[in-house]
A = this chain, B = another copy of it.
Amino acid sequence: MKAVDFTSIKINGGFWKEKQDLVREVTINAVYDRFKESGRIDAFNFDSGVKAHFFWDSDVAKWIESVAYLSTEKREPALEAIVDEIVDNIEKYRDECGYFNIYHMTIEPENRLKIRDHHELYCLGHLIEAGVAYYKATGKDKLLKLMCDYTDYVEKRFKIDKNTPFTTPGHEEIELALVKLYDVTGEKRYLELSRFFVDERGTKSEELCDWMARSYNQSHAPVREQDTAEGHAVRAVYLYCAMADLALKYNDEALKNACRKIFDNIINKRMYITGGIGSSAFGEAFTVDYDLPNLTAYTESCAAIGLALFAHRMLLLENDAKYADTIERVIYNGFLSSFSLDGDKFFYCNPLEILPYMLTKDTSQNEKNSLHLPVTRRQKEFECSCCPPNITRFVPTIANFMYTCDDDTIYVHQYMQSEAQIALGDKKIKIEQKTLYPTNGKIEIKVDTPCKVAVRIPDYCRDKGSSGYEIFEITDPSSPICLDFDLTPRFVCANPEVLADADKIALARGPVVYCMEGIDNEGHLRSIVLDTSSQITESENAELGVIALTLDAYQRKPIASLYSTKINDTYKTKATLIPFYAFANREECEMQVWHNYR
């Protein structure tokens, strides 16, 4: 299966156009402003005296990459000028070997490439992705070439001279970046270097001393023997992306199999209904099967992004609807919740329950008990600010997930109003989608040339056992494919093994998972019991620009004593739900995705 790059697709209306416009108009600048304020931009000028952190290169690299993606459709001269200055600084301050790292060159030069968890290769990976993207979008190749030099040095040190104290970076990223570098340069040794890093992982006994050195960064076993998603969730999915890339490039069956097992482990046992992954604040990590606590869900925004990227690569390996289903689950829920409706505030964690009182001083779940805790409100910035620039590079490229193709069929995986040019064998086909999805389920798909079009029937409305794709043989391009997916709100329950959701239900409408917020409901959300026999009414919430759902419910009457025998003392009320992605855009209040029901 071939990928269809976002550069050949123009999203020209509907749900994602709004998000892309928001990122172009607001988010990209908001992220820049915070980076400027924090010193991240000036830190590339070593004479600025700014004290850098060892992951700052990567933050700025992702911002550069975002600018590149935005520039594909419409150049942004002001942003480009900033990028060019940063790139000039890299050229100016890099050393004679090509090495560049704002932290290690200014603060800890004696430990260059010596500390496994100091993120130098992670930073390089993001700089490579930025260089590749910036070159493809603008034709400017300076950053790309600088990163080729740096990569050559890395190859020499790690793979040829073998004189580094570790052989697998603590935070994966360079592995997938090297595949992109290979794709753009055609230099096979970049691909080989990626495979070297991937193959080394989990083979060194000196890296197995404890959980942090072992499972935390997926070094618990050689990659082809891994069959569960382990450790730091972002590191994990970045590795899995590279594994899937290499499995495809080398047609490596063992690697394919490992990818399949890991992917299935995630979606069958370790993924929240929102597509969020990484249950535990400790290590920002996957834990064990079915361990999916809601209140303390870590579910980092970057991890959701990484899961979509992994699923997309799996889709290139084999056309199974589960991959596209997972992408859809992520992009409308656990990813989309990560930035505010006004575009300039971000969640690092995207928990499935918020109890504001829990975050006050001295409660049982407060910061003294947990290493990190989901906050109740999105923030303008983070000390560890990996998520915001990941969002700005993800939204402009969202169309990457729409199509794949083989010699005679276009596979339609995601529905977004758009116009695309796809090379199918020797035909160049224009394919258009008209849709307000997921606001409603109607989609009109039109091609300008006879061909086969396979459309994904989303998991929430397809028959069990069906392949997930319905194939249309288009002979008359003037008559479009008309789809109308049933978005009637539905109740969802979790596997009984998920103890956090036992005897609870969630609500979803199409691909969008819903939640209750305190502001729309009476009393504590945990005390509300939804009446599943009730009619569910849809209405517009104009403030949020979303469709709200309302149904009958029961709420407990207040009682004076701490314990009482009046067990069914309830009154009838209404429960109102909004899309999960829209939560926390009004005043601070409770939120929950899993509800009591009768």
Q: Is the CB of B532 within 8 A of A567?
A: yes
Q: How far is the CB of A49 from chain B (nearest CB, A)?
A: 34
Select which of B283, B293, B492, B505 is within 8 A of A365 by beta carbon.
B293
A539 within 8 A of B: no
Find out whether the CB atom of B526 lies under 8 angstroms from the CB atom of A563: no
Q: Which chain A residues in 486-518 approach chain B with CB under 8 Å?
A: 490-499, 502-503, 505-506
Q: Which residues of B contact A532 (CB under 8 A)?
A: 567-568
Give A266-320 interface residues, CB cut-off 8 Å to B.
Answer: 267-269, 271, 273, 279-283, 285, 287-288, 291, 293, 296
Task: Report which of B281, B503, B561 forms a contact with A369, defined as CB distance below 8 A.
Answer: B281
Query: For chain A residues 52-97, which have a beta carbon within 8 Å of chain B?
Result: none
Instruction: Kindly supply a per-residue 1/0 record for chain A positions 362-377, scoring 1 wherever the CB is within 8 Å of any chain B CB and 0 otherwise.
Output: 1111101111000000
Cα A269 to Cα B561 with chains together (Å): 8
Bound: A361/B493 CA distance, A: 27
| A597 within 8 A of partner (CB) | yes
Instruction: Report whether A566 and B291 are in contact in the complex, using a CB–CB cutoff of 8 Å.
Output: no
Q: Which residues of B contact A267 (CB under 8 A)?
A: 562
**Residue pair A364, B287 in contact (C-beta under 8 Å):** yes
Convert A558-594 into 0s and 1s, putting 1 for each residue whose CB lies closer than 8 angstroms to a CB of B: 1101111111100000000000000000000000000
Number of identical protomers? 2
Q: A562's contact among B494, B556, B565, by CB below 8 Å, is which?
A: B494
The 8 Å CB contact of A288, one of B287, B357, B368, B597, is B357
Majority DSSP secondary structure for residues of A touching B = loop
Instruction: Give Cα A268 to B505, complex, Å.
Output: 31
Q: Which residue of B lies closest to A597 (CB)?
A: B567
A535 contacts which chain B residues (CB < 8 A)?
A: none
* Number of chain A residues whose Cβ lies closer than 8 Å to a Cβ of chain B: 67
Contact flag A565-B495 (CB < 8 Å), given A291-B364, A362-B215, A364-B293? no
Is residue A36 contacting chain B, with contact meaning CB distance below 8 A? no
Taking CB as reference atom, which chain B residue is nearest A289? B357
B residues near A358, Cβ cutoff 8 Å: 291
**Which residues of chain A from 358 to 394 have any CB-CB distance to chain B below 8 Å in the complex?**
358, 360-366, 368-371
Say yes or no: is A475 at the interface (Cβ < 8 Å to chain B).
Answer: no
Question: Is the CB–CB distance between B491 and A363 below 8 Å?
Answer: no
Tell me which of B357, B497, B557 contacts A291 (CB under 8 A): B357
Asked whether A492 and B287 contact (CB < 8 A) given A499-B526, A503-B527, the answer is no
Query: Do residues A526 and B502 form an inter-chain contact, with CB atoms below 8 A?
Result: yes
A156 CB-CB contact with B under 8 Å: no
- In Å, the complex CA distance between A288 and B269 comes to 34
Nearest-CB residue, chain B, relative to A569 = B493
Partner of A492, one of B355, B364, B567: B567
Given A288-B357, A357-B288, decide whether A524 and B497 contact each other with a Cβ distance below 8 A: yes
In the complex, A427 has a CB within 8 A of chain B:
no
Residues of B within 8 A of A433 (CB): none
- CB of B564 within 8 A of CB of A493, answer yes
Is A176 engaged at the interface, CB distance under 8 Å to the other chain?
no
Contact A280 B496 (CB under 8 A): no
- Measured between beta carbons, the chain B residues less than 8 angstroms from A211 are 361-362
Q: Which residue of B lies closest to A497 (CB)?
A: B524
Contact check, A499 vs B562: say whether CB atoms are below 8 A apart: no
Which B residue sits closest to A568, measured CB to CB?
A: B532
The verdict on A493 contacting B527 (CB below 8 Å), with A362-B288, A364-B296 known, is: no
Nearest CB on B from A503, distance (A)? 4
Q: State in angstroms the CA–CA spacing of A556 and B527 once bound together.
A: 22
Q: Is the CB of A282 within 8 A of B562?
A: no
A462 touches B (CB below 8 Å): no
Cβ of A167 within 8 Å of any chain B Cβ, yes or no, is no
Assembly CA distance A62 to B186 (angstroms): 77
| Separation of A568 and B366 alpha carbons in the complex (Å) | 35
Closest chain B residue, CB of each to CB of A370: B369
Q: What distance in Å separates the Cβ of A134 from its nearest Cβ neighbour in chain B?
A: 39
Closest to A231 in B: B362
Task: Answer yes or no: A598 CB below 8 A from chain B CBs.
Answer: yes
Q: Are A495 and B563 in contact (CB under 8 A)?
A: yes
Q: A523 interface residue, CB < 8 Å from B?
A: yes
* Contact among B493, B503, B563 for A493, CB-based, below 8 A: B563
Q: How far is the CA of A280 from the CA of B358 in the complex (A)?
A: 12
For A366, the chain B residues whose CB sits under 8 A away are: 280, 282, 287
Binary B-proximity of A530-559 (CB < 8 A = 1, otherwise 0) = 001000000000000000000000001111
Cα–Cα, bound, A559→B290 (Å): 13
Nearest CB in chain B: distance from A390 CB, A: 23
> Is A352 engaged at the interface, CB distance under 8 Å to the other chain?
no
Cβ-based interface call for A218 (8 A): no
A529 at the interface (CB under 8 A from B): yes
The reply to whether the CB of A596 lies closer than 8 angstroms to some CB of chain B is yes
Cα(A365)–Cα(B568), bound, Å: 32
Nearest-Cβ distance from residue A120 to partner chain B, whole angstroms: 27
Closest to A212 in B: B368
Closest 8 pairs between A and B when the two form their complex, measured CB to CB: A502-B526, A496-B556, A503-B596, A280-B364, A282-B368, A496-B527, A493-B567, A279-B364
15 A–B contacts from the bound complex (CB under 8 Å) = A268-B561, A282-B368, A283-B368, A288-B357, A288-B363, A293-B364, A369-B370, A493-B563, A493-B567, A494-B563, A495-B558, A495-B564, A496-B523, A498-B562, A503-B527
Q: A residues near B, CB below 8 A?
A: 211, 215, 267-269, 271, 273, 279-283, 285, 287-288, 291, 293, 296, 355, 357-358, 360-366, 368-371, 490-499, 502-503, 505-506, 523-524, 526-527, 529, 532, 556-559, 561-568, 596-598
